Homo-oligomer: A and B are copies of this chain.
Amino acid sequence: MPQVFRDARATTPLTLDLPVVLLSHRGPVAFDRAAATGERTATRGAGGLVTALSGLASHLDEAVWVCVAAGSEDAAVAAEAGGVPVQLALDPEPHLLGEDEQDSRRISMRLVEIPPEVHDPFYGVIANPLLWFVQHRLYDLALSPSLGREEHAAFEDGYVVANQIAADAVIEQVQQVGGRAVVLLHDYHFYLVGDLVRKACPGALVSHFVHIPWPEPDSWRVLPPTMRNRLLGGLLGCDVVAFHTVADARSFLLCCQELLSLPVDRRSMTVSVEGRTVRVRVYPISIDIPALEAIAHTDASDEHIVDLDHSLGTGQLLLRVDRTDPSKNIVRGFQAYDLLLEEHPELLGKVVFLALLQPSRQDVQEYADYLHAIGAAVSTVNAKHGTGDWQPIDLRYASDMALATAAYRRCDVLVVNAVADGMNLVAKEAVVLNERDMVLALSEATGAHDELGRFAVTLHPFDVAQQADALFEALTMPGQLRRDRREHAALIVHRNDVRRWLTVQLRDLSELRTEGPV
């Protein structure tokens, strides 16, 4: 029986006898105004991280979730609240709770306003694309990035200031509960917050979770020392720095060693800094299976299955579901499929590659270029192999969970060939929902490969020939082997679902309290 964790203490109840303050860029709900009625609307935030944190925040009584006001209506809610957290309920539809309303799964959310002249450079110059590109190693280093005065100013007047604003809100929440709290900071937007919180609230236990790949020092050297050393220093202000994979954690230790000359211990996964010990930990994030199954088993999803069955007949379905991010490696995936069809003409007319792609960050040139490259690759493959009855690639730009879950249920091969991916939750969603013993074709460069690689066909992201061979292996794998592997993979995800991800972290933090500064 596969074991993701050494122990099985996931049944520990999800509690913590300290208040919790969460920080992430996006929050559980976004507010808007309905165009027709002018009434305030509330929409649940998308994405695996927000889903995971919503689970956490709704299970803890004393938790406040600090996040950035995204639009003008978020800002209006923040202004009305005057720095006090608002109370939310997520079910059945997300809504603000009135003062006398009760809800057992109430979430306290504090929206922080970051002025556009700060948020634009913070988010649009530094966090995306600079940090995202550095951490996914997407730069064409011969020419980009070319860091000029604008980028330095964006760091100082955008990233640093936005981090201070977020830190101030977190600090205020911690001080309101007497300075003793567990502070859970999230992702690449807020690397500087940990150190600020620790200095203001020495009684707090501070953890920072990095959800995207942490590359080795070579890649961080793309940033000048004025940036890279401060980002590292910010994280090292925390008690715990957490990642999805052992490789990411080891790269972080290596950065502390090589870039800051700090003593690290690879065995205990710790860094010594100014007399303190910073723990580096690994918690692979996962999915909320009941919530996913609720979306997947709807009439809309069932109807999509009927449509897919109708158009495929006895044919096999390859599937990918991705944002159009260069890190997702969509173009090489189509090149591999092209080679597969060229070398295996017996597959012509018998397979379809359904690509459900969500356009992403089209204001960034590299993303616009990448969208064009995707279109060009699809045209090449469909023009070369397609017929009036059959187009080998079915590309749909959409963010349609009913369709995606139907495709997860129906597909024969799920293709995830990312050049770098912190985790990749698509792989976990598909193995849980699939009803046809699909084969997972999974890049070695995803966090998910650590857990699911043994039950997948491994893809090497830069090797189109190997990917073509692997896709052929996946399409022709015998039934019993497909079944065994898919079932084992699903079991792993069921064992380490998002609740366990949260529970194990909180358990570890509880244990740390006995040795830590709290």
Contacts and interface: CB of A to CB of B under 8 A. Distances in A.
A220 to B, nearest CB: 10
Given A142-B327, A219-B218, A465 B147 contact: yes
A477 B141 CA distance: 30
Contact of A141 (B138, B143, B464, B466): B138
Contacts of A251: 218
A332 B463 contact: no
A445 B139 CA distance: 17
A142 B149 contact: no
B218 A137 contact: yes
Given A218-B215, A218-B218, A339-B148, A462 B142 contact: no
A257 to B, nearest CB: 10
Nearest to A330: B142
A250 B259 CA distance: 13
Contacts of A327: 142
A141 B463 CA distance: 12
A373 interface: yes
Contacts of A206: none
Interface in A403-460: 419, 444-445, 460
Interface string A132-150: 0000011111110111110
Nearest to A458: B225
B216 A463 contact: no
A288 interface: no
Closest 10 CB pairs of A and B: A140-B140, A142-B326, A216-B216, A224-B463, A147-B463, A224-B460, A216-B218, A148-B464, A149-B465, A222-B462
Given A143-B332, A148-B465, A250-B258, 14 more contacts: A138-B142, A141-B419, A142-B326, A142-B419, A143-B373, A146-B335, A147-B463, A147-B465, A148-B335, A148-B339, A218-B219, A222-B462, A224-B466, A254-B254
